[in-house]
């Protein structure tokens, strides 16, 4: 019988609630998706076993005290807490938490911080000489407090130390980080299945992919149009001409184009191209597939069309984008 992957999430007073529950939900949904393999066992650990009050006022019950965690930790997940001041949010550093993280990280297979949890990893000396990210509002603090850390406030997450250390950006990016961990453990198909259950139409990558095209636009007033947008993301390699999309909506091309532009702010052709470029970005970030295969898989057809679309959407070339954002394991 497969041994479950043990995830230990640190919990302490005023911890950000979503930083704990978001990844936990991703791992729980992954367990429902995985067939025939090892799933996840998620445990909350705190300074003491029992109730812990989060920043939202909601209390969480820890499964273990820090002293009870033991040596078998596959993934150590470290969220954060902030103090609100007149100058803005300041990441809180609890020396007892830092000491426990520093000790536990020595025998954890993988360590990841969520949001301002990067400050805890930095205080434990785990990020020295490495690139890391955190919530944009405390990035300057992280850089000032830890000059040995290269702080990049832009990515959704940063993977370093041969995949052993991960740092994630703020708030909802905890879901993207957890999905990336699932993808590494279980494969892209499982991660994408979980993303769909979370109604995250496309799993955002690290690097530069800050927003998926469907999520960058608000829901429309027409349910059938929102369903069409999701259908587009699942059929990018097919004919997605305005004629085909209008027929699917049982509207004339002219009326469909007018309604689509009114509801989304984009033309059907512009929306399709942006969605195809986003998928091409994901493939460039995560695979070494040749450009002609990426062009075919995303419905852009040819390398020449792929180049033109990248120039229009991102003002760069596919090759330059891959050099900058291809996921590496330094």
Q: Is residue 194 within a helix (H) or strand (E), and if so which, with residue range?
A: helix 188-197
**Residues 94, 78: contact at Cβ < 8 Å?**
no
**Residues 156, 176: contact at Cβ < 8 Å?**
yes
61 Cα distance to chain centroid = 26
Tokens standing for 277? 């470029």
> Strands 82-85 and 88-91, how do they pair?
antiparallel
115 is catalytic: yes
Catalytic residue among 115, 190, 191, 259: 115
CB neighbours (10 Å) of residue 85? 8
Rounded-to-integer distance, Cα 141 and Cα 164, Å:
24
Sign of CA dihedral 258, 262, 265, 271: negative
Residues 6 or more apart whose Cβ sits within 8 Å of residue 239 = none
**Residues 112, 177: contact at Cβ < 8 Å?**
yes
- Three-state DSSP class for residue 110: strand
Sign of CA dihedral 240, 244, 246, 248: negative
Which residues are catalytic, by number? 115
């Amino acid at each position: 019988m497969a041994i479950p992957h043990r995830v230990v999430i640190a919990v302490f007073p005023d911890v950000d609630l979503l930083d704990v529950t978001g990844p936990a939900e991703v791992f729980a949904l992954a367990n429902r998706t995985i067939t025939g393999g090892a799933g996840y066992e998620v445990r909350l650990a705190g300074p003491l076993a029992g109730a812990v009050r989060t920043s939202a006022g909601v209390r969480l019950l820890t499964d273990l005290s820090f002293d009870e965690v033991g040596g078998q930790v596959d993934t150590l997940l470290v969220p954060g807490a902030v103090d609100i001041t007149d100058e803005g949010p300041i990441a809180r550093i609890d020396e007892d938490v830092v000491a426990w993280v520093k000790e536990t990280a020595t025998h954890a297979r993988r360590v990841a911080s969520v949001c301002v949890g990067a400050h805890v990893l930095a205080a434990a000396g785990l990020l020295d000489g490495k690139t890391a990210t955190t919530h944009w509002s405390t990035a300057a603090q992280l850089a000032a407090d830890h000059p040995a850390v290269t702080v990049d406030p832009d990515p959704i997450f940063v993977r370093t130390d041969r995949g052993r250390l991960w740092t994630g950006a703020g708030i909802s990016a905890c879901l993207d980080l957890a999905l990336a961990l699932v993808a590494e453990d279980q494969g892209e198909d499982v991660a994408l299945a979980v993303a769909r259950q979370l109604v995250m139409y496309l799993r955002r990558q690290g690097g530069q992919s800050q927003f998926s095209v469907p999520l960058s636009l608000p829901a429309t007033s027409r349910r059938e149009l929102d369903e069409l947008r999701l259908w587009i993301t699942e059929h990018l390699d097919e004919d997605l001409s305005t004629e085909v999309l209008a027929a699917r909506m049982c509207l004339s091309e002219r009326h469909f184009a007018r309604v689509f532009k009114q509801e989304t702010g984009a033309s059907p052709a512009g929306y399709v191209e942006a969605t195809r470029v986003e998928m091409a970005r994901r493939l460039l970030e995560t695979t070494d597939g040749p450009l002609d295969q990426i062009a075919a898989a995303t419905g852009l057809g040819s390398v020449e069309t792929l180049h033109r679309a990248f120039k229009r959407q991102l003002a760069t070339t596919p090759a330059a984008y891959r050099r900058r954002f291809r996921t590496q394991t330094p």
